[in-house]
Amino acid sequence: MDKNLDDNIFDILKISRTEIRHSNMLAWFMTPSESHGFHDRFLIGFLNMIGLDATYAVKDIEIYREHNSIDILFFSRSREYVVAIENKIDTGEHDDQLTRYYNTVNYLFPSFEKHFIYLTVHGEKASDAANWRSISHKQIYNLLSMLYESSNNLTARSQLLIADYLRIVKRICDGLPASNPSTNNGPSEKQSAYSAELKAAIYSWLDHMVSSGAISYSIEHTTVRLFRYTTPRLSELLSRHDSNEGGWNNGHFYFYEITINKGGDFWITQTFTGKDMPESYQRIVHALSNGKAFGKSAEKWLIAYTTRKANVFSMQSDQEISAALDNMYEEIMRIEDAGIARVSRYN
């Protein structure tokens, strides 16, 4: 049986199309004090989306889930306004619910400024269009994607969760099924859990290493199976260019890459790209790699070193994964030390 590490945490928990869980996520993003890392930026973006400005994002906002059966309800006593949101994924209106919710909000907040939002996949028109404003999950996706890409202070765990959620929302907006159809060769639930555990443990390890100052890491350089980071000393020798140069088209001429495969193996490589590389950098890489040559592809890849592999399916805890990564890091740092020593001798 193939083991697949492309799983999404929402698929694993079988909640990728569950309206209640999507409403929970939206309420989480809207709450500035939660741990997502956006502070009040998602809330302000949502307010702008429904025609309200940032002055409505006051500190005394109260956010409720399923209050009087309304999916999301938030209000400010000081600003005297209330927003009611009815969220739909795979269902439509029923039991005259929009009228009931409209009447409930008017009863509970008679003197407040009121806004009623009908959130659906494609922004379908509400039955009570005179009172309920329609917005789409695509608009939510665009807001969240913009914040995700422009935020530099998200923790690795938040990045993992938000990236998975963005993929789920995009899949829903594109009309795709909840997850890839299962086959006899698909991953078991246990294997899926292991894959999510490995990715979460890698992000946690990266967070720890960044906090200690040992590495620099950004989610923008990460793919499904590659987690890229840099080190201070190598970046001093091969500083990033403010351009699209290099094989990664981002100005970097090297990365350490944590790679994972479908079989659950993971390892670290020291990888260089010779594309657009200045001659002075080429001499440095020649010394760092102990004379290894760049490849002949357009990107001129050079994998100078690969650590020993470990396998997540043989491990029992996040601590074991972290310990394996520590060992790989120490192994590849010895290679970096030796390479920098050669650079010093050649210079």
Same domain (yes/no): 249, 302? yes
Domain contains 330: yes
Same domain (yes/no): 203, 325? yes
Domain contains 6: no
Domain contains 116: yes
The reported pLDDT for the residue numbered 14 is 61
Same domain (yes/no): 138, 193? no
pTM of the model: 0.52
Looking at the 3D structure of the chain, how many domains does it have?
A: 2
Domain contains 118: yes
Low-confidence residues of the chain: pLDDT under 70: 1-19, 176-196, 347
Same domain (yes/no): 341, 196? yes
Domain region containing 195:
188-346
Domain contains 2: no
Same domain (yes/no): 89, 192? no
Domain contains 40: yes
Same domain (yes/no): 278, 333? yes
Domain contains 177: no
The reported pLDDT for the residue numbered 181 is 40
The reported pLDDT for the residue numbered 187 is 47
Same domain (yes/no): 201, 84? no
Tell which of 86, 110, 143 closes a domain: 143
Same domain (yes/no): 333, 218? yes
The reported pLDDT for the residue numbered 12 is 61
3-state SS of the chain is: CCCCCCCCHHHHCCCCCCHHHHHHHHHHHHCCCCCCCCCCHHHHHHHHHCCCCHHHCCCCCEEEEEECCEEEEEEECCCCEEEEEEECCCCCCCCCHHHHHHHHHHHHCCCCEEEEEEEECCCCCCCCCCCEEEEEHHHHHHHHHHHHHHCCCCCHHHHHHHHHHHHHHHHHHCCCCCCCCCCCCCCCHHHHHHHHHHHHHHHHHHHHHHHCCCCEECHHHCCCCEEEEECHHHHHHCCCCCCCCCCCCCCCCEEEEEEECCCCEEEEEEEEECCCCCHHHHHHHHHHCCCCCCCCCCCCEEEEEECCCEEHHHCCCHHHHHHHHHHHHHHHHHHHHHHHHHHHHHC
The reported pLDDT for the residue numbered 85 is 96
The reported pLDDT for the residue numbered 315 is 78
How many angstroms separate the CA atoms of 237 and 264, rounded? 34
Domain contains 217: yes
The reported pLDDT for the residue numbered 155 is 81
The reported pLDDT for the residue numbered 26 is 93
Same domain (yes/no): 335, 193? yes
Same domain (yes/no): 199, 300? yes
Same domain (yes/no): 130, 208? no
The reported pLDDT for the residue numbered 49 is 94
Same domain (yes/no): 329, 206? yes
Tell which of 123, 143, 163 closes a domain: 143
